[in-house]
């Protein structure tokens, strides 16, 4: 599964034509990803039949407040009514553990909606405990992680080993955050089947000056398909 980050409707054609399986609508990239305006989400959903997930996050930290929770629920409802298929959120508490209470509250208030836990897990104090907590959250079907708050170049080995050792981690893990082509075969062999790309599908890697390019997305599509074929012992097409 190839998920592509989109910032506005003009990113959608490149993601679609290149073979993205899902779009991740987000704003505030410089702040690590924030909730986009509902009108932007509506336009993105109208541009594509590919499933869309949308970020729920209102500040640039890893925590949220009681006052923000109602706003997050309202935004989630708005996004879903506009055609989004799922949501993306993830919070830590003051002890840098998964904020199970907040995440469960959001999942319960937005029932039967699939969601991704965002990269806050890469800043959790105890990664083993974080993964144990995550697997019990309702509706969760993906955990976006690079294995380190500094990205996959640092966290790749730890993430690959963890996925290879634990089927549930491999099933939930969506590798992203500095993903490079050389990471992919190792992650696929470890059982990972979800991948997330952002700046690498834009010419020059620029968020501000380039839209998603279909050729760049297609290159990732072919790389992932080839890696899966090889891992399963099939002759690549």
Q: What is the pLDDT of residues 35-76, one digit of tens each?
A: 999 999 999 999 999 999 999 999 998 998 878 999 999 999
Q: What is the pLDDT of residues 150-204, one digit of tens each?
A: 999 999 999 999 999 999 999 999 999 999 999 999 999 999 999 999 999 999 9
Q: What is the pLDDT of residues 98-150, one digit of tens each?
A: 999 999 999 999 999 999 999 999 999 999 999 999 998 999 999 999 999 99
Query: Mean pLDDT across the stretch 85-90?
Result: 97
At 232 the pLDDT is: 84
Report the distance separating Cα 229 and Cα 237, nearest Å. Answer: 8
| Domains in the chain with CATH codes | 2-231 (3.20.20.380)
Burial class for 191, CB neighbours closer than 10 Å (0-12, 13-18, 19+):
middle
């Amino acid at each position: 599964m190839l998920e592509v980050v989109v910032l506005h409707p003009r990113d959608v054609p490149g993601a679609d034509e290149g073979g993205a399986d899902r779009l991740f609508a987000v704003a505030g990239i410089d702040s690590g990803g924030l909730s986009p305006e509902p009108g932007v989400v509506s336009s993105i959903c109208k541009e594509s039949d590919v499933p869309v997930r949308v970020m729920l996050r209102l500040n640039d930290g890893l925590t949220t407040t009681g006052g923000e929770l109602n706003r997050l629920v309202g935004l989630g409802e708005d996004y879903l009514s506009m055609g989004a298929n799922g949501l993306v959120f993830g919070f830590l508490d003051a002890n840098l553990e998964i904020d199970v209470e907040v995440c469960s509250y959001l999942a319960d208030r937005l029932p039967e909606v699939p969601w991704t836990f965002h990269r806050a897990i890469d800043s959790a104090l105890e990664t083993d405990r974080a993964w144990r907590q995550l697997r019990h959250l309702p509706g969760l079907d993906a955990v976006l992680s690079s294995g380190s708050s500094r990205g996959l170049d640092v966290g790749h080995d730890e993430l690959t080993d963890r996925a290879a050792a634990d089927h549930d981690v491999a099933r939930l893990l969506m590798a992203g955050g500095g993903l490079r082509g050389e990471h992919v075969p190792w992650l696929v062999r470890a059982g990972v089947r979800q991948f997330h790309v952002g700046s690498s599908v834009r010419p020059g890697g620029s968020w501000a000056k380039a839209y998603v390019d279909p050729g760049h997305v297609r290159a990732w599509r072919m790389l992932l398909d080839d890696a899966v074929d090889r891992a399963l012992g099939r002759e690549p097409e």
